[in-house]
Amino acid sequence: MPQYIMAIDQGTTGTTVAIMDQGGRVVAKVNKEYPQIYPKPGWVEHNPEDIWASVTSTTTEVLAKSGLNPRDIAAIGITNQRETTLVWDRKTHKPVYNAIV
């Protein structure tokens, strides 16, 4: 029976993923930063593929680090960049441009 919770914090400078046990203790934690793009002073953008890669790699790594099987995860909580805007192409499912922070 699943007994752990995974938390994904996809933030402005990187992604942190942690797995906690039923007592709230951190079993494993992984963080990956990704490049910030500064097209002009005061502007910040991210390559959407970098964001997605950071999420997939940190979830894979935290599971490996914890020694758990994905079936051991009872729930996943996600927090993300609320102020960031991104447009995807409906047909290709690819980003049209960088994510604008």
Q: What single-letter amino acid sits at 80?
A: N
Q: What pLDDT shows up at residue 2?
A: 73
- How far is it, in rounded angstroms, from Cα 101 to Cα 83? 6
- How far is it, in rounded angstroms, from Cα 83 to Cα 61? 27
User: Average pLDDT of 75-100?
Assistant: 92
pLDDT interval class at 83 (50, 70, 90)? confident
Over 80: is that where the pLDDT of 1 sits? no
What fold is seen in the domain 4-100?
A: Nucleotidyltransferase; domain 5 (3.30.420)
pLDDT digits (tens, 9 = 90+) for 17-72: 999 999 999 999 999 999 999 999 999 999 999 999 999 999 999 999 999 999 99
**Which has more pLDDT, 90 or 81?**
90
Q: What pLDDT shows up at residue 78?
A: 95
DSSP string, 44-80: -EE-HHHHHHHHHHHHHHHHHHHT--GGGEEEEEEE-
Q: What pLDDT shows up at residue 82?
A: 80
Q: Where are the domains of the chain?
A: 4-100
